[in-house]
Chains A and B, each alone.
Chain A
C-alpha cells in the first residue's frame, strides 16, 4: 500500500542524497516529500531533474528557507505549515545529522 513519507533535511551536505532517497521511495509507489530546513547549495542540472521526477510522481520538495526557493525552485513553506503537513504523513524521516 502506498504511504506518505516526508524527509526532513537540516544539513546542507545531505540534501541532494536525501532527495535521491525520496525519489527512491516515489519509484516504489509511495508519495514522497522533502523539506529543507537549512540554506543549501544550488542544485546541479542532474539533481534538478531528480526534483522534477519527484514532482512528476505527485511528490514535492519544500523549504522554509526563502533563498532555497529562489535558487532551486523549491516550494516555499513555513515551519507551522510543515508541521501540519507532517501530521498527515505515515513516515517522517529526519535525514542524516543536523
Chain B
C-alpha cells in the first residue's frame, strides 16, 4: 500500500472531511501533508484545527491567502511553526513527493 497522502484544501466547508480522511490515513500508517490555500485558510480558525495539526505530519498554509482573508501572518495557528506560513511551493511539494493526492 502507498504510504503518503497529500491534501490540497481550497474549500472552507470541508473541515469534517479533512479531519476524517487524515485520521483514517494516519491509522493506516500513512504520512499526511495538508496545504490550505485561498478561502481554505479560514479553516485555520476552526476549533478542530489544532487537533488536525497534531494528527498530520505536515500542515502548511498559503501566507498570502491567509492575509487576504484578513488574518495576520504572525498569528500562527496552534500546532504550526512560522516556517509553515508559506507559499504555493508547498503545493508543489505535495504534487512532487506524495504517493496520492486529494483536493478538498
Contacts and interface: CB of A to CB of B under 8 A. Distances in A.
Q: Do chains A and B touch in the complex (CB under 8 A)?
A: yes
Interface of A: 1, 3, 5, 14, 17-18, 20-21, 23-25, 27-30, 91, 93-97
Contacts of B92: 24-25, 27-30
Interface string B39-50: 100000000000
Contacts of A25: 88, 91-92, 95
Given A18-B38, A25-B92, A96-B10, 20 more contacts: A3-B95, A5-B95, A14-B39, A17-B37, A17-B68, A21-B38, A21-B88, A24-B88, A24-B89, A24-B92, A28-B88, A28-B91, A28-B95, A28-B96, A91-B95, A91-B101, A93-B8, A93-B103, A96-B11, A96-B39
Interface in B59-104: 65, 68, 87-89, 91-92, 95-96, 101, 103
> How would you classify the secondary structure of chain A's contact residues: helix, strand, loop or mixed?
mixed
A19 to B, nearest CB: 11
Nearest to A97: B11
Interface residues of B, number: 18
B101 A96 contact: no
Contacts of B95: 3, 5, 25, 28, 30, 91
Given A21-B37, A94-B103, A28 B89 contact: yes
